[in-house]
Chain A
Amino acid sequence: MNERDGNVMNVEAPERVLMLGNEAIARGALEGGIAYATGYPGNPSSEILETLFKTAEAHGVAVEWSVNEIVALEAAAAFAFAGKRAVVTMKQNGLNVAADFLTTVALDELPGGLLVVVCDDPGPLTSSNEQDSRHFARIAQVPLLEPSTSQEAKDMAAYGLDLSQRFGVPCLLRAVSRLSHGRGPVSPGPVPSPGSTPRFDTTRPMVGLPFLVTQNHARILRLRETVRAEFEASSWNELRGPHGASTLVVASGLSTVYGDEALRRLDLEDRVALLKLGTIWPLPAERILEALAPAETVLFLEEVDPFVEDAVKVIFAENAERVGPIRFLGKNDGFVAGPFGPGVGEMNTDTAQSALSRLFDRRPADTATLPPDLQDRARDLLVPRELSFCQGCPHRASFLAVKTALALDGRDGFLVGDIGCYGMAAGNTGFQQIKALHCMGSGMGNASGFSRLKAFGFDQPVVAVAGDSTFFHAGLPALANAVHQNADAVFIVLDNAVTAMTGFQINPATPAAISKDKRELRIEEAARGLGASAAVLDPVADVQAAVNAVLDAVRGGGVHVLVFRHGCATFFQKRVDRRKQPPARVDTALCLGDQCGCNRFCSRILGCPAILFDPATGVARIDEQVCTGCGLCVQVCPRGAIRLDRPEDESA
């Protein structure tokens, strides 16, 4: 990210600036008067808090990366309990983690404001599911807003905070990857000055005791109708296009601009009306009925599930006497479908256009598409750029150690993991070691259960892997369970000092020298405190020692935690003094190339971006510009042909 990014928070009207959707949400939260912002990093949500960190001090806002999403939400709620406003951010998987608190805090009458921002990842670019988080608005019965542009993202974040405080209910704002990571013009508004001193009114406790639940539940269902009345008049919803059109497109959030572009490309703007919806729960039923009245055909555009489609059909059925027969087209009947089928993957202009093309039997005028023979020739040439651990990445050494140890053990052992950079170890770059990958900390829970399979004759060793941040996020309960159940389990924690996957955020394991005012927690101390044995190793400095440690652990009993500690190479690259960390080089006299019998271990198996096989000379070569000098290849070359030489002249 460019250094100017922080400046979007410092602009003043009337300047119009380009903002990421996520930057716009951050700006909107500031304009909405937040005193506190929390979250757990996860693509595509991370930039919201990153942006707020840059301006926290200037605006007197407290910002934190919490250990997980439910803690983030619980912490943010404390501000709302005390009459202040707070925002909490997460990706879709994170809302599942936070949902337990969300569905209970929804029953409170909040004195302050609480905005929950969830960024969904349809057609997932960086996720292990493509869940549609809008369902949580219905489960918790809280208002839900869905923006269509950066400007709306900003305005809705501010509005959502205000709405939350006025009605005393948490408000959800749902973005999708393309909105979060798209840039559009935003006209900023004023940022309010800090308000009153916070105070928790002890005469108004926030307690979810069973006998209070039914009355609070009834209250929030009544409140839903009050909120609906406000949404009926809201400018977030808008009916566009020809009056009385017999065809209506109903679009939710960003799908509005896809529908808009598809209609323009097909020259259908004079024939089709478009109902843009921005308040998604509760839906503005009267506005929808007005739009349905002249319609004979209604087509839904939304990501991912038919959420609005289903809800509009209920509104239609309940008011059948007011609206005539309508043909509904969407995901339920498969009419609106992307390349993977209806209700799967992202919405985009192509998908919207393909549905409208079929409905009206017309194609866009301006597209001179490429003939199939050229496309075929291109596909023949298009070699992939595969996912790879970065040069110097400690995960490469860690997974090489696990692979080697499990092979030496010889009992068809395997690795179970979760999400993070190290999740790529399910692929070539991690030697295809991870065999189960789901959600935060899932490998450690799986391993706890695999241990109990032994009673049924299961004899394969199982190693679980998690990152440093994941260990504190979700690993601790799994570890406690494994110890409590007397499991035999090996947990490897890949401690690279930062939450690398999502942009190097700090976490409890981050050294205090980097996190500054935060207190550093030691993974091995936590593990020992929970009754596991724990050892710390640097797999890059001594990969053989890491192999031995894994082998010993899988052959022993009880719960072993191996902390593989080596800083993220990409994060620390700029901090390294290159004179002290020279690149590796290949001694071409020693490298035997294809005659060696190592099967080009360094370039082909290790897969480091800095190591090439030079077909001209028939030996390996190190790209000095790319090499970080980590020394892993030096340790694994069977010929000892790779060296890390200290430069002779320090002043050079």
Chain B
Amino acid sequence: MKDSMNVVITGVGGQGNVLAARLLAAVALRRGLEVTVGDVYGLTQRGGSVASHVRWSEDRPLPPLVPTGALDVLVAFEPLEALRIQTQCGNRGTAALVNASPVMPIGVQSGRFPYPNEEDLWSLLDSMTGGLWRIAGSVAAREMGNLQVLNTVMLGALCASGLLDFEAAAFEEAIERELPARFVALNLEAFERGRELCRPA
């Protein structure tokens, strides 16, 4: 087997990538793996590009960030951010799960430049990756009445994709262990919704 696994969970500040990364890392840690998480964020509280690098190996601590070209699995809460991370550290074999709903950068909102043509963006993502899942994560989260659970919905999709060797029960246990009690039921439901949104390759 590969001696390390490199996952990046990316999105826009406020979408909850840090928590999703902690849950995934908690699952890997329970497996007895050597896990490292590196959170990348800039100056702003909200609206900026953010990414959590979750890496593990059988036997030794890894650096916090995925080296150029070494990304195995990309989980993106936003399509433009998927492209950003894939360009930074992806390769032709990277598997990508991407939430379909864009979040407009401030420069787009103010009309200074356009958001990329979505057809171009998705076709480019497809040719840059070794497998692309387009996940209706925001739609599912909104149907649940809470856009805040997008991160757990996407974790559910990641679990169902079969890209990682982790059972649903391990994620559910992590949700129960790591989250404050009052958020557990909601996030378990979001996780189940996410699993329904994805089929294994």
Which A residues are within 8 Å of any B CB, using their own CB?
A: 2-4, 16-18, 125-126, 148-149, 151, 178-179, 181-185, 254, 257-258, 260-261, 264-265, 348-350, 353, 364, 366-370, 374-375, 377-379, 381-388, 390-391, 421, 424, 429, 500-501, 570, 600, 603-604, 607, 609, 611-613, 615
Which of B37, B41, B86 lies in contact with A378, CB distance below 8 A? B86
Known pairs A183-B22, A381-B116, A387-B43 / 20 extra A-B pairs, C-beta < 8 Å: A2-B22, A17-B29, A126-B42, A178-B38, A181-B64, A182-B36, A348-B63, A350-B67, A367-B91, A370-B92, A370-B128, A382-B84, A385-B48, A385-B106, A386-B105, A390-B44, A501-B43, A604-B112, A607-B106, A612-B104
With contacts A185-B35, A264-B3, A381-B120 known, is A604 near B110, CB below 8 A? yes
Whole-angstrom distance between the Cβ of B113 and the nearest chain A Cβ: 5
Q: How far apart are the CA atoms of A254 and B63 in the complex, in Å?
A: 8
- A264-B3, A374-B127 known; A183-B86 Cβ under 8 A: no
Q: Chain A residues near B87 (CB, 8 Å)?
A: 370, 375, 378-379, 382
Task: Pick from A149, A382, A387: contact of B83, CB below 8 A.
Answer: A382
Q: Nearest chain-B residue to A5 (Cβ)?
A: B22
**Nearest residue in B to A184 (C-beta to C-beta)?**
B36
User: Which of B61, B68, B84, B116 interacts with A350 by CB under 8 Å?
Assistant: B68
What's the Cα separation between A43 and B15 when bound, in Å? 21
Residues of B within 8 A of A385 (CB): 12, 47-49, 105-107
Q: What 1/0 mask marks residues of chain B from 116 to 139 whose CB sits below 8 Å from any chain A CB? A: 110011001001100000000000
Chain A residue, CB-CB nearest to B92: A368
CB pair A613 B84 closer than 8 Å: no
User: Are A367 and B70 interface neighbours, CB within 8 A?
Assistant: yes
Chain A residues within an 8 Å CB radius of B61: 148-149, 151, 184, 257
A385 vs B18: C-alpha distance when bound (angstroms): 18
**Chain A residues with CB below 8 A from B46, complex form:** 390-391, 570, 609
Which residues in A have their C-beta under 8 angstroms from that of B144?
none
Chain A, residue nearest B36 (CB): A184
A613→B124 contact, CB < 8 A: no
A–B Cβ pairs within 8 angstroms, 14 of them: A18-B22, A125-B42, A148-B61, A182-B37, A257-B61, A257-B63, A369-B69, A370-B86, A374-B128, A385-B47, A385-B48, A388-B106, A611-B109, A612-B109
- B167 at interface by CB-CB < 8 Å: no
A353→B67 contact, CB < 8 A: yes
Instruction: Give Cα A613–Cα B43 distance, bound, in whole angstroms.
Output: 25
Q: Does B194 contact A (CB under 8 A)?
A: no
Give the residues in chain A near B34, CB-CB below 8 Å.
185
Whole-angstrom distance between the Cβ of B36 and the nearest chain A Cβ? 5
What residues on B are CB-neighbors of A264 within 8 Å? 3
Compute how far the CA of A350 lies from the CA of B66 in the bound complex, rounded to whole angstroms: 9
Partner of A381, one of B42, B60, B65, B121: B121
A238 to B92, CA, bound (A): 38
Please give, as numbers and ranges, the residues of chain B lying within 8 Å of A429 by CB-CB distance.
Answer: 106
A contact residues around B117 at 8 Å (CB)? 381
If A183-B25, A257-B62, A349-B67 touch, whether A378 touches B107 (CB-CB below 8 Å) is no
> How close is A369's CB to chain B, nearest CB, in angstroms?
4
Which residue in A4, A374, A424, A600 is a CB contact (below 8 Å) of B124? A374
Of A18, A151, A382, A615, the contact of B26 (CB 8 Å cutoff): A18
Known: A370-B128, A381-B121. A4 touches B65 (CB 8 A): no
Which residues of A sit under 8 angstroms from B180, Cβ to Cβ?
A: 3-4
In the complex, what's the smallest C-beta–C-beta distance from A381 to chain B, in angstroms? 4
Complex CA–CA separation, A510 to B72 (angstroms) = 46
| Complex: chain A residue closest to B34, CB-CB | A185
A-B contact count (CB 8 A): 180
Task: Given A378-B86, A381-B120, A388-B44, decide whether A183 and B110 contact each other with a Cβ distance below 8 A.
Answer: no
B185 at the interface (CB under 8 A from A): no
B43-A18 in contact (CB<8A)? no
Closest Cβ–Cβ distance, residue B181 to chain A (whole Å): 10
- CB-CB under 8 A from A184, the residues of chain B are 35-37, 61
Evaluate contact between A18 and B63: CB separation under 8 angstroms: no
Chain A residues with CB under 8 A of B186: none
Could you tell me the distance between the alpha carbons of A4 and B116 in the complex, rounded to whole angstroms? 38
The reply to whether B108 and A383 contact each other, CB–CB distance below 8 Å, is yes
> How far is B65's CA from A353's CA once the two chains are assembled, in angstroms?
14
Contact of A178 among B42, B65, B113 (CB under 8 A): B65
On chain B, the residues within 8 Å of A2 by CB distance are 18-19, 22, 178-179
- A384 near B3 (CB under 8 angstroms)? no
Report yes or no: A383 in contact with B111, Cβ–Cβ below 8 A.
Answer: no
Residues of B within 8 A of A254 (CB): 63
Q: Within 8 Å CB of A126, what residues of B?
A: 42-43
Q: Residues of B contacting A384 with CB < 8 Å?
A: 105, 107
Give A369 to B90 CA distance when docked, in angstroms.
7
- Are B38 and A182 within 8 A (Cβ)? yes
The interface centre, meaning the residue of B3, B34, B64, B179 with most chain A CB atoms within 10 A of its CB, is B64
Q: How far is the CB of A46 from chain B (nearest CB, A)?
A: 13
Question: What residues of chain B lie closer than 8 Å to A3, measured between beta carbons?
Answer: 180
Contact between A377 and B124, CB atoms less than 8 A apart: yes
Interface centre among B18, B25, B63, B83 (most CB of A within 10 A): B63
Q: Are B47's CB and A349's CB within 8 A? A: no
**Closest Cβ neighbor of B105 among chain A residues:** A385
Given A182-B36, A378-B87, decide whether A261 and B128 contact each other with a Cβ distance below 8 A.
Answer: no
CB under 8 Å from chain A, chain B span 5-27 = 12, 18-19, 22, 25-26
Query: A424 to B92, alpha carbons, bound, how many Å?
Result: 37
CA–CA, A366 and B92, complex, Å: 11
Does B192 sit within 8 A of A, measured CB to CB?
Answer: no
How far is it, in angstroms, between the C-alpha of A374 and the C-alpha of B86 when the chains are bound?
11
Measured in the bound complex, the distance between the Cα atoms of B80 and A385 in whole Å is 10
B42 x A387 contact (CB < 8 A): yes
Whole-angstrom distance between the alpha carbons of A183 and B35 in the complex?
A: 8
Is the pair B93, A368 in contact by a Cβ cutoff of 8 Å?
yes
Complex formed: what's the CA distance from A177 to B92 in Å? 30
Decide if B109 touches A603 in the complex (CB within 8 Å).
Answer: yes
Which A residues lie within 8 Å of B120 (CB)?
381
Alpha-carbon distance between A382 and B125 when the two chains are bound, in angstroms: 12
What residues on A are CB-neighbors of B110 within 8 Å? 600, 603-604, 607, 611-613
**CB proximity of A111 to chain B, nearest CB, Å:** 37
Q: Enumerate chain B residues within 8 angstroms of A179, measured Cβ to Cβ.
A: 64
Q: Are A181 and B47 in contact (CB under 8 A)?
A: no
Q: What is the CA–CA distance of A370 and B130 in the complex, to the nearest angstrom?
A: 11
Residues of B within 8 A of A149 (CB): 61
In the complex, A605→B37 CA distance in Å? 38
The docked-state distance in angstroms from the alpha carbon of A381 to that of B112 is 14
Cβ–Cβ < 8 Å partners of B19 in chain A: 2
In this complex, which of A183, A348, A385, A611 has the most chain B Cβ atoms within 10 angstroms of its Cβ?
A385
CB distance from A594 to the nearest CB of B (A): 9
A231 to chain B, nearest CB (A): 22
Tell me whether A383 and B105 are in contact in the complex, defined as CB-CB below 8 angstroms, given that A4-B179, A18-B25, A607-B110 are known contacts. yes
Cα distance A309–B61 in the bound complex, in angstroms? 24
Instruction: State in angstroms the CA–CA spacing of A379 and B128 once bound together.
Output: 13
